[in-house]
Structure 1
Amino acid sequence: MTAYDVAHPHGLHVAHDGPRQAPPLLLVHGSGFSGSSWSPMVPALASHRHVIRVDLPGCGKSPPAPSYAVSAQAGRVAAVLDDLGLRQVPVAGHSSGGYVATALAEERPELVGSLALISTGPSGEALLPQPALLRVLLAPPFGPLLWARRTDAMIRRGISLTCVRPVEIPDDLVADVRRITYRAMRGVLRANTGYLAERSVPERLAALDVPVLVIFGAADPRWDPASARRYDAVPHARVEMLPGVGHIPMLEAAGATSELLLGFLAPAADTPPVSRHA
């Protein structure tokens, strides 16, 4: 497996793993995270795919942007694929990364071959009450001050609060989460709310002619797990629930999530089994 990073001219940091001649797979992280959030899954995925991980604007190693609108983020991701000369790429998005992936398919359908949405809330009303720590960090007037004083321990605690299994949080993910500013994080969250207010994700997907895989933790503490069944109304969609898994299957059940994703991308006979151990 080869791995290398590039600073992209369109303002996004991009990481490549696996052989460049392999079929591509684009991974899009969720709010405040980075491409590092996929790290536990990368070895399995890169054994079969050229894995492309982007850091969205203001996240990880990508600089802030004038706009965090979901459509604007999708436009920057489209520019990456254009520069790489790729079309009909399978795209997987975690949480709000699923909104960016969906917007990419809406605006540039020729770029997207299939969609995999992992822990992507279908609509605003499916959002559950958030942990007190996260609410305090994001609420004015003290939020900006507390945000600037976050420690690695606080970041790890915040991530673990959205999981229901003990998880090993990669050090590079902690470092990347530290980089996002309070202003950028608020901008991203406002943009996500606006995107859902316009139209739900299942409604958007129903208008697209693209295969869809939905993976949801059956114990997700961020989004009502029952809301995953709303995706059943989407033609060509398959919904998979992971028992005993919370909001971050990449950390909580990397093996099972990798197996589902690889099985979705290729016939079972062509995809060797992946360990289901997290």
Structure 2
Amino acid sequence: MTISEGQSHVKDDAAESTLPLDDGDIYVYQDGPRDAPVLLLIHGTAAMARSWDLMVPLLTGSHHVIRIDLLGCGRSAKPADGDYEIPAQGRRAGEVADRLGIKHAIVVGHSSGSTVAAALAEQRPDLVTGLVIINFGPDMDAFIAQEPAIGPAQWPPSEEQIRQLGKTGFPEGEEVPQIFVDGVRGMPFNTFAALMQAPRAYLEQRTLPDRLAPLGKPLLVIFGEDDRRWRSSSAAGYRAVPGARIELLSGLGHTPILEDPQRTAAPLLAFTAVHAAQAG
């Protein structure tokens, strides 16, 4: 099935489409010139493609920007019995790229979206020409947040429960955006639980540096120094990947793509200027 067989909404160089895959529909956003190098942006656990909204205008001057709602998130399908393991999410991202006719892309993951980016690079080294990891530790030893437990008896959770769950993802004293609250409440419990567990399982099986080092892909790691979810000092662990570049952003926390999009975009654009020649 081609993308034209799904639902599509186009405005200038922006388009939104529902792309049917064998195991669930994936919602896709495209922005920027279609002949430009491709950036594929992947959101974190229980988030959605719209978490990149403030970054997109800073990137489309020089890139074809593609965002997807991972299965279980945003406007994509949320099957209660779906496969939410990280390799499956990476495979779907590759299928989306294939359906869109993308041959090469630099893949950017925020938070646990970094594991999906890594899985895609492992599976499709032909597609991924470079990787950018934003605020995600190299292994579980870097994890510092203690999220409150929410069980099936408490589902769907209240807005306050969701805000407590997500508060370490944002600067202290700042409220969790409503779009994230609504996104979590729209998930079946089994989907939410599987999404939360999948990145941990992926890291416990093998650390990200161990996975990425053999691939030989250019790597940029961006980290808000005040992250309350992952130790920013852990970014040094990515130096095990030959040639890895690390950028620490002072005064920013776990979600620099929302807290200061311009400061976050600057090292990203510098990286893509060097490594995006093949991405398109």
Q: Within the alignment, does 1:118 sit opposite 2:126 as a pair?
A: no
Q: Are 1:232 and 2:239 matched, yes or no?
A: yes
What's the offset of the Cα at 1:22? 2.0
Unaligned ranges ≥5, structure 1? 138-142, 269-278
Give, in whole Å, the separation in 1 of the partners of 2:78 and 2:97. 20
The CA deviation at 1:48 is: 1.8
Count of aligned pairs: 260
For the pair 1:150 / 2:158, whether they are aligned, the reply is yes
Q: Secondary structure at the match of 1:129?
A: coil
Deviation at residue 159 of structure 1 after TM alignment: 3.7
Distance 1:147 1:236, change over 3 A: farther
1:210 aligns with 2:217: yes
On the 8 A contact 1:92/1:115 being kept in 2, the answer is yes
Instruction: Kindly indicate whether residue 258 of structure 2 is the aligned counterpart of residue 245 of structure 1.
Output: no
Q: Conserved in 1, the CA contact under 8 Å of 2:157 and 2:185?
A: no
Q: Given the alignment of the two structures, is residue 6 of structure 1 paired with residue 17 of structure 2, yes or no?
A: yes
Which residue in the other structure is 2:92 paired with? 76
Assess if the C-alpha contact under 8 Å between 1:92 and 1:116 holds in 2. yes
Cα deviation for residue 165 of structure 1 reads 6.2
Residues in 2 aligned to 1:8 and 1:102: alpha-carbon distance in whole angstroms? 22
Higher relative helix content:
1
Q: Which amino acid counterpart does residue 264 of structure 1 have in structure 2?
A: F
Q: Secondary structure at the match of 1:109?
A: coil
Q: Deviations over 1:70-123 (max 9, x none)?
A: 111111111001111212200000111100100101011101010000012211
- The reply on whether 1:91 has 2:107 as its aligned counterpart is yes
Distance in 1 separating the partners of 2:168 and 2:145: 12
Say if 1:91 and 1:112, in contact at 8 Å, map to a contact too.
yes
**1:244 CA drift (Å):** 1.4
The correspondence for 2:148, drawn from 135, 147, 154, is 135
In structure 2, distance between residues paired with 1:244 and 1:37: 20
Counterpart of 2:188 (choices 181, 194, 218) is: 181
125 and 246 in structure 1: CA distance in 2 versus 1, 3 angstrom threshold: same
Structure 2 spans left out of the alignment, 5+ residues:
1-11, 276-280
**What is the TM-score of this pair, normalised by structure 2?**
0.86
1:244 & 1:169 partners in 2: Cα distance?
18
Pair 1:266-2:265 in alignment: no
Question: Alignment partner of 1:36: what SS?
Answer: helix
**Structure 1 258/170 Cα, relative in aligned 2: closer, same or farther at 3 Å?**
farther
What SS does structure 2 have at the residue aligned with 1:12? strand
Distance 1:49 1:118, change over 3 A: same
User: How much has 1:54 moved relative to structure 2?
Assistant: 0.5
Counterpart mapping for 1:9-28 below 5 A: 9-10=20-21, 11-28=25-42
1:41-52 to 2 correspondences below 5 Å: 41-52=55-66
Q: Which amino acid aligns with 1:135?
A: P
State the Cα deviation string for residues 7-39 of structure 1 (Å, max 9, x = none).
011221111112222221100000000001111
CA distance in 2, matches of 1:241, 1:30: 19
- The CA RMSD measured in Å over matched residues stands at 2.2
Partner of 1:38: 52
CA distance in 2, matches of 1:211, 1:166: 36
Partner SS state of residue 14, structure 1: strand
Distance 1:169 1:38, change over 3 A: farther
